[in-house]
Amino acid sequence: MSEAPPPAVRYAGFVVLAEGILMLIVAAVLVVRAVLGADQHIVSGYGTAIWFLLVGGGVTAGGWALLTERRWGRGIAVFINLLLLPVAWYIYSSHQLTYAVPVALVALVALGLLFSPSAVQWVSRRD
């Protein structure tokens, strides 16, 4: 039987799960906007919603995996939060500081938790 993950992994699991759920909410909002007649000429609301649904589903699964003591969730969590850092930079370069700062902070907090010594030690254990 494997040892329970340290608190840092569980906290990261909650953060990643919240990120995934937020992506699923964005997918739903995009579909609702498209159904209500939002302009689809520049950006496809349906196509973007499918992307958010697929990625959000994977991120949600990764967060759930961390909460249920499965090490494979850490790879998804690290990957998505590393991707969020350039997203935050892009938002910042678009002069949207009020959105860029929270995105960057959440990603950095999650990465800090996932690369904490206790989390690295937990993920590197062999059963």
pLDDT in tens for each of the 127 residues of the chain?
467 889 999 999 999 999 999 999 999 999 998 888 877 777 788 899 999 999 999 999 999 999 999 999 999 999 999 999 999 999 999 999 999 999 999 999 999 999 999 999 999 987 6
For residues 8 and 119, the answer to whether their CB atoms sit within 8 Å is yes
Q: Mind giving me the DSSP string for 61-76?
A: HHHHHHHTT-THHHHH
pLDDT at 3: 78
pLDDT at 39: 78
* pLDDT reported for residue 26: 95
| pLDDT the model gives residue 127 | 67
Burial letters for 34-51: b for 16+ Cβ neighbours within 10 Å, e otherwise? beeeeeeeeeebeebbee
Name the pTM for this structure.
0.90
Dist CA 27 CA 37 (whole Å): 16
